[in-house]
Amino acid sequence: MRASGVLMHITSLASPYGVGTMGKEAYEFVDFLERARQKYWQVLPIGPTGFGDSPYSSYSTYAGNPIFIDFDLLVEDKILKKSDFNRIKWSKNEEHADFEYIYGKKIKVLKLAANNFLKDTPKEYEKFKMKNSFWLDDYALFMAIKNSKKGKSWLLWEEDYKKRDKKTLNDFAKKHEEDLEFWKVIQFIFYKQWNKLKSYANKKEILIIGDLPIYVATDSVDVWSNPKQFKLNENLEPVWVAGCPPDAFSEDGQLWGNPIYDWDFMKKNKYKWWISRMKYAKSMYDVVRIDHFRGFAGYYEIPYGDKNAKGGHWEKGPGFDLFKAIFEKCGKDGVIAEDLGFLDKDVLRLLKKTGFPGMKLLQFAFDTRDGGAYRPHSYIANSVAYTGTHDNEPVMGWFKNAKKADVKRTVTYFNLTKREGYNWGMMRGVWSSVSDLAIVQAQDLFGLGNEARMNLPSTVGKHNWSWRAKKGVFTDELADKLAGLMELYGRCEIRD
Protein backbone atom coordinates (compact mmCIF):
# COMPACT_ATOMS: atom_id res chain seq x y z
CA MET A 1 0.00 0.00 0.00
CA ARG A 2 1.24 3.49 -0.85
CA ALA A 3 1.83 5.57 2.27
CA SER A 4 3.59 8.64 3.58
CA GLY A 5 5.15 9.99 6.74
CA VAL A 6 7.06 12.80 8.42
CA LEU A 7 10.67 12.89 9.62
CA MET A 8 10.62 14.62 13.00
CA HIS A 9 13.05 13.80 15.80
CA ILE A 10 11.71 13.77 19.36
CA THR A 11 14.05 16.57 20.45
CA SER A 12 12.48 18.80 17.77
CA LEU A 13 9.02 18.73 19.33
CA ALA A 14 7.82 21.82 21.18
CA SER A 15 8.02 21.62 24.95
CA PRO A 16 8.13 23.98 27.94
CA TYR A 17 11.25 22.16 29.13
CA GLY A 18 13.77 23.26 26.51
CA VAL A 19 13.71 20.11 24.38
CA GLY A 20 11.13 17.72 22.95
CA THR A 21 10.09 14.83 25.19
CA MET A 22 7.82 11.79 25.12
CA GLY A 23 5.07 13.80 26.77
CA LYS A 24 1.99 15.77 25.74
CA GLU A 25 3.45 17.29 22.54
CA ALA A 26 4.55 13.86 21.27
CA TYR A 27 0.99 12.55 21.65
CA GLU A 28 -0.38 15.66 19.96
CA PHE A 29 2.03 15.08 17.05
CA VAL A 30 0.68 11.53 16.67
CA ASP A 31 -2.83 12.99 16.58
CA PHE A 32 -1.67 15.43 13.88
CA LEU A 33 -0.23 12.58 11.80
CA GLU A 34 -3.47 10.65 12.08
CA ARG A 35 -5.58 13.61 10.96
CA ALA A 36 -3.10 14.34 8.13
CA ARG A 37 -3.55 10.74 6.84
CA GLN A 38 0.10 9.90 7.49
CA LYS A 39 1.14 6.36 8.32
CA TYR A 40 4.72 6.82 9.50
CA TRP A 41 6.64 8.87 12.05
CA GLN A 42 10.37 8.68 11.42
CA VAL A 43 12.77 9.54 14.25
CA LEU A 44 16.55 9.65 14.54
CA PRO A 45 18.47 7.29 16.88
CA ILE A 46 17.12 7.61 20.43
CA GLY A 47 20.21 6.62 22.42
CA PRO A 48 22.03 8.80 24.98
CA THR A 49 24.28 11.19 23.08
CA GLY A 50 27.93 11.93 23.73
CA PHE A 51 30.29 14.54 22.36
CA GLY A 52 28.65 16.91 19.88
CA ASP A 53 25.11 15.79 20.85
CA SER A 54 24.83 13.67 17.71
CA PRO A 55 22.21 10.89 17.85
CA TYR A 56 24.67 8.93 15.69
CA SER A 57 27.30 9.06 18.43
CA SER A 58 25.69 7.37 21.41
CA TYR A 59 27.05 5.91 24.62
CA SER A 60 24.94 2.80 24.00
CA THR A 61 23.19 1.07 21.13
CA TYR A 62 20.51 -0.22 23.54
CA ALA A 63 19.91 2.54 26.09
CA GLY A 64 17.43 5.40 25.68
CA ASN A 65 18.29 9.08 26.01
CA PRO A 66 17.27 10.42 29.47
CA ILE A 67 16.67 13.83 27.92
CA PHE A 68 13.48 12.47 26.28
CA ILE A 69 11.89 11.60 29.63
CA ASP A 70 8.84 13.75 30.33
CA PHE A 71 8.45 15.19 33.82
CA ASP A 72 4.70 15.76 33.60
CA LEU A 73 4.22 12.03 33.05
CA LEU A 74 6.31 11.41 36.19
CA VAL A 75 3.94 13.71 38.08
CA GLU A 76 1.06 11.52 36.88
CA ASP A 77 2.98 8.49 38.16
CA LYS A 78 3.48 10.32 41.51
CA ILE A 79 7.24 10.10 41.23
CA LEU A 80 7.66 13.88 41.01
CA LYS A 81 5.78 17.00 42.05
CA LYS A 82 5.35 20.01 39.75
CA SER A 83 7.30 22.09 42.25
CA ASP A 84 10.34 19.86 41.69
CA PHE A 85 10.94 21.34 38.25
CA ASN A 86 8.51 24.10 37.24
CA ARG A 87 10.64 26.94 38.65
CA ILE A 88 13.68 25.95 36.63
CA LYS A 89 14.44 28.06 33.57
CA TRP A 90 14.61 25.41 30.87
CA SER A 91 14.72 27.26 27.59
CA LYS A 92 17.04 29.94 26.26
CA ASN A 93 15.67 29.72 22.73
CA GLU A 94 12.23 28.44 21.68
CA GLU A 95 13.55 27.18 18.33
CA HIS A 96 16.83 25.57 19.43
CA ALA A 97 17.73 23.17 22.22
CA ASP A 98 20.83 23.82 24.31
CA PHE A 99 21.61 20.22 25.20
CA GLU A 100 24.48 20.85 27.61
CA TYR A 101 22.45 23.43 29.53
CA ILE A 102 19.35 21.21 29.67
CA TYR A 103 21.11 17.93 30.45
CA GLY A 104 22.72 19.09 33.69
CA LYS A 105 19.42 20.43 35.03
CA LYS A 106 17.45 17.41 33.85
CA ILE A 107 19.76 14.85 35.50
CA LYS A 108 19.33 16.60 38.87
CA VAL A 109 15.55 16.29 38.63
CA LEU A 110 15.82 12.69 37.42
CA LYS A 111 17.96 11.82 40.44
CA LEU A 112 15.17 13.07 42.67
CA ALA A 113 12.68 11.03 40.62
CA ALA A 114 14.85 7.91 40.91
CA ASN A 115 15.14 8.30 44.70
CA ASN A 116 11.37 8.57 44.99
CA PHE A 117 10.89 5.61 42.66
CA LEU A 118 13.23 3.38 44.69
CA LYS A 119 11.19 3.91 47.86
CA ASP A 120 8.55 1.57 46.45
CA THR A 121 9.70 -0.23 43.31
CA PRO A 122 7.07 -2.08 41.23
CA LYS A 123 7.50 -5.72 40.22
CA GLU A 124 7.86 -4.58 36.60
CA TYR A 125 11.18 -2.94 37.49
CA GLU A 126 12.79 -6.22 38.59
CA LYS A 127 11.44 -7.94 35.47
CA PHE A 128 12.89 -5.12 33.33
CA LYS A 129 16.32 -5.51 34.92
CA MET A 130 16.36 -9.27 34.41
CA LYS A 131 15.14 -9.10 30.80
CA ASN A 132 17.65 -6.42 29.85
CA SER A 133 20.61 -7.48 31.98
CA PHE A 134 22.57 -8.43 28.83
CA TRP A 135 23.13 -4.72 28.18
CA LEU A 136 21.78 -2.82 31.20
CA ASP A 137 24.37 -3.98 33.74
CA ASP A 138 27.31 -2.92 31.58
CA TYR A 139 25.60 0.35 30.65
CA ALA A 140 24.94 1.33 34.26
CA LEU A 141 28.51 0.46 35.23
CA PHE A 142 29.93 2.37 32.26
CA MET A 143 27.93 5.53 33.04
CA ALA A 144 28.73 5.39 36.76
CA ILE A 145 32.46 5.05 36.08
CA LYS A 146 32.35 7.77 33.42
CA ASN A 147 30.64 10.17 35.84
CA SER A 148 33.16 9.37 38.57
CA LYS A 149 35.89 10.35 36.11
CA LYS A 150 34.19 13.63 35.11
CA GLY A 151 33.00 12.39 31.73
CA LYS A 152 36.38 11.22 30.41
CA SER A 153 36.37 8.77 27.51
CA TRP A 154 36.97 5.20 28.66
CA LEU A 155 40.15 5.23 26.55
CA LEU A 156 41.56 7.67 29.13
CA TRP A 157 40.58 5.62 32.19
CA GLU A 158 43.16 3.84 34.35
CA GLU A 159 44.31 0.51 32.93
CA ASP A 160 42.25 -1.68 35.29
CA TYR A 161 39.04 0.16 34.38
CA LYS A 162 39.90 0.41 30.72
CA LYS A 163 40.65 -3.30 30.35
CA ARG A 164 37.79 -4.37 32.64
CA ASP A 165 39.71 -6.00 35.48
CA LYS A 166 37.03 -8.03 37.29
CA LYS A 167 38.09 -7.18 40.84
CA THR A 168 38.37 -3.48 40.05
CA LEU A 169 34.90 -3.40 38.48
CA ASN A 170 33.32 -5.46 41.28
CA ASP A 171 34.83 -3.19 43.94
CA PHE A 172 33.59 -0.11 42.10
CA ALA A 173 30.09 -1.56 41.71
CA LYS A 174 29.83 -2.32 45.46
CA LYS A 175 31.06 1.15 46.39
CA HIS A 176 28.76 2.93 43.89
CA GLU A 177 25.68 0.73 44.11
CA GLU A 178 23.32 3.75 44.31
CA ASP A 179 24.82 5.29 41.15
CA LEU A 180 24.40 2.05 39.20
CA GLU A 181 20.80 1.75 40.37
CA PHE A 182 20.09 5.32 39.26
CA TRP A 183 21.09 4.58 35.65
CA LYS A 184 18.95 1.43 35.66
CA VAL A 185 15.91 3.26 37.03
CA ILE A 186 16.29 5.95 34.36
CA GLN A 187 16.25 3.30 31.64
CA PHE A 188 13.15 1.69 33.13
CA ILE A 189 11.39 5.07 33.14
CA PHE A 190 12.54 5.83 29.60
CA TYR A 191 11.25 2.56 28.19
CA LYS A 192 7.98 2.79 30.08
CA GLN A 193 7.33 6.17 28.46
CA TRP A 194 8.60 5.05 25.05
CA ASN A 195 6.47 1.90 24.95
CA LYS A 196 3.39 3.85 26.02
CA LEU A 197 3.95 6.44 23.27
CA LYS A 198 4.61 3.78 20.63
CA SER A 199 1.51 1.86 21.70
CA TYR A 200 -0.56 5.04 21.35
CA ALA A 201 0.85 5.66 17.86
CA ASN A 202 0.21 2.07 16.79
CA LYS A 203 -3.41 2.22 17.99
CA LYS A 204 -3.79 5.24 15.70
CA GLU A 205 -2.24 3.08 12.93
CA ILE A 206 0.91 5.21 12.93
CA LEU A 207 4.12 3.18 12.57
CA ILE A 208 7.46 4.33 14.01
CA ILE A 209 10.52 4.26 11.74
CA GLY A 210 13.65 4.10 13.88
CA ASP A 211 17.24 4.64 12.82
CA LEU A 212 20.03 2.09 13.32
CA PRO A 213 23.48 3.64 12.76
CA ILE A 214 25.86 1.22 11.06
CA TYR A 215 28.66 2.18 13.45
CA VAL A 216 28.87 2.84 17.18
CA ALA A 217 30.84 5.56 18.96
CA THR A 218 34.36 4.84 20.16
CA ASP A 219 33.44 6.25 23.56
CA SER A 220 30.59 3.83 24.17
CA VAL A 221 29.77 0.89 26.37
CA ASP A 222 29.44 -1.14 23.16
CA VAL A 223 33.16 -0.89 22.40
CA TRP A 224 34.32 -0.93 26.04
CA SER A 225 32.41 -4.15 26.82
CA ASN A 226 32.92 -5.86 23.43
CA PRO A 227 36.47 -4.96 22.28
CA LYS A 228 36.91 -8.14 20.24
CA GLN A 229 34.16 -7.04 17.86
CA PHE A 230 36.31 -4.13 16.64
CA LYS A 231 39.71 -3.53 15.05
CA LEU A 232 41.58 -2.30 18.13
CA ASN A 233 45.26 -2.39 19.04
CA GLU A 234 46.70 -3.87 22.26
CA ASN A 235 46.01 -0.58 24.02
CA LEU A 236 42.34 -0.87 22.90
CA GLU A 237 42.64 2.14 20.61
CA PRO A 238 41.06 1.91 17.14
CA VAL A 239 43.44 0.90 14.38
CA TRP A 240 41.07 2.15 11.70
CA VAL A 241 38.10 4.50 11.84
CA ALA A 242 35.10 5.03 9.56
CA GLY A 243 34.33 7.78 7.09
CA CYS A 244 33.76 8.61 3.43
CA PRO A 245 36.35 9.36 0.74
CA PRO A 246 36.77 12.78 -0.88
CA ASP A 247 34.25 13.47 -3.65
CA ALA A 248 32.71 16.32 -5.63
CA PHE A 249 30.91 17.49 -2.49
CA SER A 250 33.80 17.27 0.00
CA GLU A 251 37.48 17.79 -0.84
CA ASP A 252 38.68 16.18 2.41
CA GLY A 253 36.00 13.50 2.56
CA GLN A 254 34.20 12.76 5.82
CA LEU A 255 36.04 11.60 8.94
CA TRP A 256 33.45 10.07 11.29
CA GLY A 257 35.91 8.51 13.72
CA ASN A 258 33.89 5.38 14.63
CA PRO A 259 35.90 2.18 15.16
CA ILE A 260 35.76 -0.37 12.33
CA TYR A 261 34.26 -3.79 12.96
CA ASP A 262 36.41 -6.90 12.92
CA TRP A 263 34.18 -8.67 10.42
CA ASP A 264 36.35 -11.83 10.45
CA PHE A 265 35.81 -12.23 14.19
CA MET A 266 32.11 -11.46 13.83
CA LYS A 267 31.71 -14.10 11.16
CA LYS A 268 33.42 -16.74 13.33
CA ASN A 269 31.04 -15.74 16.11
CA LYS A 270 28.05 -16.15 13.75
CA TYR A 271 27.32 -12.40 13.87
CA LYS A 272 25.78 -12.74 17.34
CA TRP A 273 26.53 -9.09 18.21
CA TRP A 274 24.72 -7.82 15.11
CA ILE A 275 21.81 -10.24 15.49
CA SER A 276 21.28 -9.07 19.07
CA ARG A 277 21.40 -5.43 17.96
CA MET A 278 18.94 -5.94 15.10
CA LYS A 279 16.56 -8.01 17.20
CA TYR A 280 16.45 -5.26 19.81
CA ALA A 281 15.92 -2.53 17.21
CA LYS A 282 13.01 -4.46 15.73
CA SER A 283 11.44 -4.72 19.17
CA MET A 284 11.80 -0.94 19.58
CA TYR A 285 10.49 0.22 16.22
CA ASP A 286 7.96 -0.90 13.61
CA VAL A 287 10.46 -0.27 10.80
CA VAL A 288 14.26 -0.02 11.05
CA ARG A 289 16.24 2.26 8.75
CA ILE A 290 19.80 0.94 8.50
CA ASP A 291 22.15 3.89 8.15
CA HIS A 292 25.05 3.74 5.62
CA PHE A 293 23.94 0.44 4.11
CA ARG A 294 26.70 0.59 1.50
CA GLY A 295 29.19 -0.11 4.31
CA PHE A 296 28.04 -3.72 4.40
CA ALA A 297 29.12 -4.25 0.79
CA GLY A 298 32.35 -2.29 1.08
CA TYR A 299 33.52 0.16 3.71
CA TYR A 300 36.03 2.99 3.77
CA GLU A 301 38.56 2.87 6.59
CA ILE A 302 40.97 5.62 7.62
CA PRO A 303 44.07 5.29 9.83
CA TYR A 304 43.29 6.29 13.42
CA GLY A 305 44.69 9.73 14.15
CA ASP A 306 44.45 11.11 10.61
CA LYS A 307 43.09 14.66 10.37
CA ASN A 308 40.90 13.98 7.33
CA ALA A 309 39.66 11.10 5.17
CA LYS A 310 42.18 11.43 2.32
CA GLY A 311 44.44 8.61 3.56
CA GLY A 312 41.73 5.98 3.71
CA HIS A 313 41.02 2.99 1.48
CA TRP A 314 38.16 0.63 0.64
CA GLU A 315 37.73 -2.83 2.17
CA LYS A 316 35.23 -5.55 1.36
CA GLY A 317 32.30 -5.79 3.78
CA PRO A 318 30.48 -8.88 5.08
CA GLY A 319 27.91 -8.72 2.28
CA PHE A 320 24.86 -10.97 2.24
CA ASP A 321 26.49 -13.41 4.66
CA LEU A 322 25.59 -11.03 7.52
CA PHE A 323 22.00 -10.52 6.40
CA LYS A 324 21.45 -14.23 5.86
CA ALA A 325 22.30 -14.74 9.54
CA ILE A 326 20.06 -11.82 10.56
CA PHE A 327 17.14 -13.09 8.46
CA GLU A 328 17.31 -16.50 10.14
CA LYS A 329 16.92 -14.95 13.61
CA CYS A 330 15.06 -11.66 13.00
CA GLY A 331 13.14 -12.06 9.73
CA LYS A 332 13.60 -9.76 6.77
CA ASP A 333 10.56 -7.48 6.84
CA GLY A 334 10.40 -3.95 8.20
CA VAL A 335 13.79 -2.65 7.04
CA ILE A 336 14.80 0.39 4.95
CA ALA A 337 18.32 0.58 3.53
CA GLU A 338 19.99 4.00 3.48
CA ASP A 339 21.79 3.37 0.20
CA LEU A 340 22.97 6.92 -0.48
CA GLY A 341 26.54 7.80 -1.44
CA PHE A 342 28.95 6.05 -3.79
CA LEU A 343 27.14 2.94 -5.07
CA ASP A 344 29.13 0.33 -6.95
CA LYS A 345 27.89 -2.99 -8.35
CA ASP A 346 28.47 -4.78 -5.04
CA VAL A 347 26.14 -2.41 -3.20
CA LEU A 348 23.43 -2.68 -5.85
CA ARG A 349 23.67 -6.48 -5.85
CA LEU A 350 23.45 -6.60 -2.05
CA LEU A 351 20.42 -4.31 -2.00
CA LYS A 352 18.67 -6.45 -4.59
CA LYS A 353 19.50 -9.68 -2.76
CA THR A 354 18.18 -8.43 0.58
CA GLY A 355 15.04 -7.06 -1.04
CA PHE A 356 15.19 -3.96 1.17
CA PRO A 357 13.71 -0.74 -0.23
CA GLY A 358 16.41 1.86 -0.86
CA MET A 359 16.17 5.64 -0.57
CA LYS A 360 15.52 8.22 -3.28
CA LEU A 361 16.60 11.70 -2.28
CA LEU A 362 15.00 14.51 -4.24
CA GLN A 363 17.71 17.04 -3.42
CA PHE A 364 20.23 14.87 -5.29
CA ALA A 365 18.07 14.71 -8.41
CA PHE A 366 18.99 17.96 -10.11
CA ASP A 367 22.70 18.36 -9.43
CA THR A 368 24.33 19.08 -12.79
CA ARG A 369 27.23 16.76 -11.82
CA ASP A 370 24.94 13.75 -11.36
CA GLY A 371 21.44 12.95 -10.15
CA GLY A 372 19.57 11.14 -12.92
CA ALA A 373 18.84 8.12 -10.72
CA TYR A 374 17.21 10.38 -8.14
CA ARG A 375 14.67 12.00 -10.46
CA PRO A 376 11.14 10.73 -9.79
CA HIS A 377 10.58 9.33 -13.28
CA SER A 378 13.31 6.76 -12.58
CA TYR A 379 12.04 5.59 -9.15
CA ILE A 380 10.80 2.06 -8.50
CA ALA A 381 7.91 1.06 -6.25
CA ASN A 382 10.16 -0.73 -3.75
CA SER A 383 11.79 2.47 -2.52
CA VAL A 384 11.32 5.34 -0.08
CA ALA A 385 11.26 8.84 -1.55
CA TYR A 386 12.53 11.73 0.59
CA THR A 387 12.61 15.48 0.06
CA GLY A 388 15.71 15.42 2.26
CA THR A 389 17.13 13.76 5.36
CA HIS A 390 18.57 15.08 8.63
CA ASP A 391 21.91 15.56 6.82
CA ASN A 392 20.39 17.79 4.13
CA GLU A 393 19.19 21.34 4.03
CA PRO A 394 15.44 21.89 4.31
CA VAL A 395 14.02 22.37 0.79
CA MET A 396 13.92 26.16 1.01
CA GLY A 397 17.52 26.23 2.26
CA TRP A 398 18.54 24.10 -0.70
CA PHE A 399 16.86 26.48 -3.16
CA LYS A 400 18.72 29.40 -1.61
CA ASN A 401 22.16 27.77 -1.81
CA ALA A 402 22.02 25.45 -4.83
CA LYS A 403 23.60 26.40 -8.16
CA LYS A 404 21.36 28.50 -10.37
CA ALA A 405 21.43 25.82 -13.08
CA ASP A 406 20.27 23.19 -10.56
CA VAL A 407 17.46 25.41 -9.33
CA LYS A 408 16.34 26.19 -12.90
CA ARG A 409 16.29 22.50 -13.78
CA THR A 410 14.22 21.71 -10.66
CA VAL A 411 11.72 24.49 -11.32
CA THR A 412 11.30 23.32 -14.91
CA TYR A 413 10.97 19.63 -13.98
CA PHE A 414 8.18 20.20 -11.44
CA ASN A 415 6.77 23.40 -12.94
CA LEU A 416 7.24 25.01 -9.52
CA THR A 417 5.64 28.33 -8.66
CA LYS A 418 6.40 30.74 -5.83
CA ARG A 419 2.68 31.18 -5.31
CA GLU A 420 2.27 27.55 -4.27
CA GLY A 421 5.66 27.51 -2.55
CA TYR A 422 8.69 25.61 -3.84
CA ASN A 423 8.60 23.44 -0.71
CA TRP A 424 5.06 22.26 -1.51
CA GLY A 425 6.01 21.57 -5.12
CA MET A 426 8.96 19.44 -4.01
CA MET A 427 6.85 17.53 -1.51
CA ARG A 428 4.32 16.84 -4.26
CA GLY A 429 7.28 15.44 -6.20
CA VAL A 430 7.80 12.62 -3.70
CA TRP A 431 4.10 12.09 -2.96
CA SER A 432 3.27 11.72 -6.67
CA SER A 433 6.18 9.33 -7.31
CA VAL A 434 5.75 5.56 -7.66
CA SER A 435 7.70 4.93 -4.43
CA ASP A 436 5.64 2.89 -1.99
CA LEU A 437 6.61 5.25 0.82
CA ALA A 438 7.28 9.01 0.78
CA ILE A 439 8.80 10.91 3.72
CA VAL A 440 9.11 14.67 4.12
CA GLN A 441 11.06 16.63 6.71
CA ALA A 442 8.83 18.47 9.19
CA GLN A 443 10.76 21.67 8.35
CA ASP A 444 9.53 21.44 4.74
CA LEU A 445 5.91 21.54 5.87
CA PHE A 446 6.57 25.08 7.12
CA GLY A 447 8.87 26.26 4.33
CA LEU A 448 11.79 26.78 6.72
CA GLY A 449 15.35 27.43 5.54
CA ASN A 450 18.76 26.57 6.92
CA GLU A 451 18.00 28.21 10.24
CA ALA A 452 16.12 24.95 10.84
CA ARG A 453 18.70 22.58 9.38
CA MET A 454 19.17 19.53 11.57
CA ASN A 455 22.80 18.68 10.79
CA LEU A 456 25.73 19.79 8.68
CA PRO A 457 27.81 16.60 8.16
CA SER A 458 31.43 16.53 9.36
CA THR A 459 30.90 19.53 11.64
CA VAL A 460 30.36 19.90 15.37
CA GLY A 461 28.29 23.04 15.82
CA LYS A 462 25.96 24.35 18.50
CA HIS A 463 23.04 24.38 16.07
CA ASN A 464 23.54 20.80 14.86
CA TRP A 465 20.67 18.56 16.00
CA SER A 466 19.08 21.40 17.98
CA TRP A 467 16.17 22.65 15.83
CA ARG A 468 12.77 22.76 17.56
CA ALA A 469 9.32 23.41 16.15
CA LYS A 470 7.39 26.34 17.57
CA LYS A 471 4.43 25.56 19.79
CA GLY A 472 1.15 25.23 17.91
CA VAL A 473 2.54 24.92 14.35
CA PHE A 474 1.02 21.48 13.70
CA THR A 475 -2.46 22.86 13.12
CA ASP A 476 -5.68 21.18 12.04
CA GLU A 477 -5.61 23.36 8.92
CA LEU A 478 -2.20 21.98 7.95
CA ALA A 479 -3.31 18.43 8.73
CA ASP A 480 -6.39 18.79 6.54
CA LYS A 481 -4.33 20.16 3.67
CA LEU A 482 -2.01 17.16 3.90
CA ALA A 483 -4.93 14.74 4.14
CA GLY A 484 -6.37 16.10 0.90
CA LEU A 485 -3.05 15.67 -0.88
CA MET A 486 -2.70 12.12 0.43
CA GLU A 487 -6.05 11.25 -1.13
CA LEU A 488 -5.07 12.99 -4.36
CA TYR A 489 -1.85 10.99 -4.68
CA GLY A 490 -3.28 7.68 -3.47
CA ARG A 491 -1.29 7.53 -0.23
CA CYS A 492 -4.26 6.71 2.00
CA GLU A 493 -7.58 4.96 1.80
CA ILE A 494 -10.21 7.07 0.06
CA ARG A 495 -12.92 8.26 2.42
CA ASP A 496 -16.59 7.96 1.41
pLDDT, tens digit, for every residue of 174-228?
A: 999 999 999 999 999 999 999 999 999 999 999 999 999 999 999 999 999 999 9
Residue-number span of the structural domain to which 347 is assigned: 226-356
Cα 311 to Cα 209, 228, 249, 305, 342: the distances in Å are 35, 25, 17, 11, 17
pLDDT more than 70, % of the chain: 99
In a domain, 344, yes or no: yes
C-beta separation of 41 from 33 below 8 A: yes
Q: Model confidence at 296, in pLDDT bands (50, 70, 90)?
A: very high
Q: Is 459 helix (H, G, I), strand (E, B) or coil?
A: coil
In a domain, 100, yes or no: no
| C-alpha angle 66-7-375 in degrees, rounded to nearest 5 | 150
Q: Model confidence at 285, in pLDDT bands (50, 70, 90)?
A: very high
In a domain, 105, yes or no: no
Provide DSSP, 460-486.
--TTTT-B-PPTT-S-HHHHHHHHHHH
In a domain, 345, yes or no: yes
In a domain, 134, yes or no: no
Of residues 4, 3, 7, the one with CA closest to residue 389: 7
Q: How many domains does the chain have?
A: 1
Helices (H), 214-312: 221-225, 263-268, 272-284
Distance CA(258)–CA(291), nearest Å, equals 13
Distance CA(332)–CA(30), nearest Å, equals 27
In a domain, 275, yes or no: yes
In a domain, 284, yes or no: yes
In a domain, 334, yes or no: yes
Hey, which residues are catalytic here?
291, 338, 391
Segment 94-129, tens digit of pLDDT? 889 999 999 999 999 999 999 999 999 999 999 999
